[in-house]
């Protein structure tokens, strides 16, 4: 996702510096050209050679290269600053943040940072008291004002033994912040997108419910892809085991009724709605207040009376706002296209993504899907793609309808 992009990773002197090696490795795996610049103090925590090996580029330390007299016409801090599509400083110490806030350019890292016009991310990591110190907070507010994005430190046990805020987030999370900034052209900037995902749970009693096999992966992939493209994304999610994609606001729901209420609220301002959730069509007529016991009467068997739920998609289709794009999903086991087209018509949708549980590579739990996108004028078979690639194509199709 980052091929053709140049990322400068700044490493300053904190114990979290060892974790930055994994970030550099992850950025390389995404195809980025990576240059690491360390402060002199950072080199006390991790060797420059580690970064050189992982990035395949010379790692600059402290004031290295600032006053080179090698007659190569390449002013390093300017050339790196110009080449960078993004700079991430992780960990960012209180000292670095103070220098960035006041423009004190006394080593290569801060010099490159000041000369660069690209997006800049900082992941502050330090002792809680240092982090909470008003001077540090003022400096953070200042650099935020200058356009930096601050990746909030996590809470937990710190290396110094204190407990509190100040831990650098895991490299996988830092990578998501980088991807959010530069992985994709921001062709959905300014659009508000509502996505639903995952299964609903219909309660029978306080310990039991009716649900389905939905993993939520397809809806989460759409939310993730839309956020990467700059949309403002709300994800209304049933219970899943998935992490919320970076840049996405998640609203948790349980039953079909909860999902209906959340969708009714957020659909009002949405420019696009993608209803990937597997909503129960029926729910128990009553929910028992106490755990249902298997008393003697029920030994012969028991039945649960069900009543229909609201068809959320059909309701928002009927109340569609002008210019709003509504996309449904159809998971079928027979007559895929016929059934999907009927749902497109009946629910007043702009597009529907059909997939068959019978097709290899499609379905709930896997990381791939085989989707056919149906609009009023076109039917496009996508073939077997990762759920993220499928999501990209679904968003492309939705943007074409705008």
Q: Which residues form the catalytic set?
A: 160
With CB under 6 A as the contact rule, the residue among 89, 195, 313, 326 that binds ligand CTP is 313
Nearer to ligand CTP among residue 25 and residue 212 (C-beta)? 212
Residue ranges of E strands in 84-189? 86-92, 120-124, 149-150, 154-157, 163-167
Taking each helix axis from N to C end, the angle separating 387-401 and 217-228, rounded to the nearest 10 degrees, works out to: 60
Q: Please give the Cα distance from 13 to 95 (Å, whole number).
A: 9
Candidate list 8, 279, 370, 398; residue touching ligand CTP; CB under 6 A: 279
Using CB under 6 A, which of 281, 335, 367, 378 touches ligand CTP? 281
Cβ-based burial of 354 (10 A; exposed 0-12, middle 13-18, buried ≥19): buried
Q: Which of 8, 277, 325, 391 binds ligand CTP (CB under 6 A)?
A: 277
Position among 108, 328, 372, 382 found at the interface with ligand CTP (CB under 6 A): 328
Query: Which is closer to ligand CTP, CB of 89 or CB of 221?
Result: 221
- 94, 136 Cβ separation under 8 angstroms: yes
Kindly give, in sequence order, each residue whose CB lies less than 8 Å from that of residue 205, ignoring residues fewer than 6 positions away.
Answer: 287, 288, 289, 290, 291, 292
The yes or no reply on residue 362 touching ligand CTP (CB under 6 A) is no
Q: How many residues bind ligand CTP (CB under 6 A)?
A: 14
Contact predicate 374/329, CB 8 Å: no
Binding segment for ligand CTP (CB under 6 A), chosen from 10-18, 220-228, 322-330, 386-394, is 322-330
Among 331, 336, 344, 370, binds ligand CTP (CB under 6 A): 331
> From residue 244 to residue 263, what is the string marking binding to ligand CTP with x (rule CB under 6 A)?
------------x-------
311 binds ligand CTP (CB under 6 A): yes
Of the pair 5, 343, the CB lying nearest ligand CTP is at 343
**275 lies in the binding site for ligand CTP (CB under 6 A):** yes
Among 93, 139, 255, 309, binds ligand CTP (CB under 6 A): 309
Q: Is 343 in the site for ligand CTP (CB under 6 A)?
A: yes
Which residues from 113-142 bind ligand CTP, rule CB under 6 A? Answer: none
Q: How far apart, in whole angstroms, are the C-alpha atoms of residue 71 and residue 330?
A: 65
Residue (of 143, 94, 91) closest to 119 by Cα position: 143
Please give the Cα distance from 301 to 287 (Å, whole number).
18
For residue 91, the SS3 value is strand
| Residue closer to ligand CTP, measured from CB, 125 or 313 | 313
Q: How far is the CB of 274 from ligand CTP (least distance, A)?
A: 8
Nearest partner of 202 among 309, 294, 302, judged by Cα: 309
Neighbour count for residue 29 (Cβ, 10 Å) = 11
Nearest distance from C-beta of residue 247 to ligand CTP, angstroms: 23
Give me the residues that bind ligand CTP (CB under 6 A), please. Answer: 256, 275, 277, 279, 281, 309, 311-313, 328-331, 343
């Amino acid at each position: 996702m980052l091929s053709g992009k140049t990322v400068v990773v700044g490493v300053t002197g904190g114990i979290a510096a060892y974790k930055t090696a994994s970030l550099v490795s992850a950025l390389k795996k995404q195809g980025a050209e990576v240059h690491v610049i360390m402060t002199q103090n950072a080199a006390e925590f991790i060797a420059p050679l580690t970064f050189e090996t992982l990035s395949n580029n010379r790692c600059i330390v402290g004031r290295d290269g600032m006053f080179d007299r090698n007659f190569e016409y390449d002013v390093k801090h300017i050339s790196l600053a110009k080449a960078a599509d993004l700079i991430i400083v992780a960990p960012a110490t209180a000292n670095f943040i103070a220098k960035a806030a006041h423009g004190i350019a006394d080593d290569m890292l801060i010099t490159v940072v000041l000369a660069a016009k690209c997006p800049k991310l900082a992941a502050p990591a330090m002792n809680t008291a240092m982090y909470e110190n008003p001077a540090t907070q003022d400096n953070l507010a200042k650099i935020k004002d200058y356009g930096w994005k601050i990746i909030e430190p996590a809470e937990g046990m710190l290396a110094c033994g204190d407990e509190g805020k100040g831990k650098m987030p895991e490299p996988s999370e830092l990578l998501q912040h980088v991807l959010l900034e530069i992985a994709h052209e921001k062709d959905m900037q300014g659009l508000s997108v509502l996505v639903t995902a995952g299964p609903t749970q219909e309660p029978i009693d306080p310990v039991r419910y009716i649900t389905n096999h939905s993993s939520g992966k397809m809806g989460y992939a759409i939310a993730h892809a839309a956020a990467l493209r700059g949309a403002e994304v709300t994800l209304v999610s049933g219970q899943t085991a998935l992490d919320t994609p970076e840049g996405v606001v998640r609203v948790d729901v349980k039953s079909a009724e909860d999902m209906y209420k959340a969708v009714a609220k957020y659909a009002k301002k949405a420019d696009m709605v993608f209803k990937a959730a597997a909503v129960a069509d029926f729910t128990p007529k009553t929910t028992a207040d106490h755990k249902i016991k298997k008393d003697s009467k029920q030994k012969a068997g028991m039945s649960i009376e069900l009543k229909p739920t609201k068809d959320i998609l059909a309701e928002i289709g009927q109340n569609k706002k002008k210019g709003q794009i509504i996309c449904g999903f159809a998971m079928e086991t027979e007559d895929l296209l016929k059934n999907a087209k009927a749902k497109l018509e009946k629910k007043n949708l702009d597009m529907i993504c059909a997939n068959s549980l019978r097709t290899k590579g499609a379905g709930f739990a896997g990381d791939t899907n085989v989707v056919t996108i149906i609009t009023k004028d076109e039917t496009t078979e996508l073939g077997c793609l990762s759920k993220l690639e499928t999501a990209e194509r679904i968003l492309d199709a939705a943007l074409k309808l705008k």
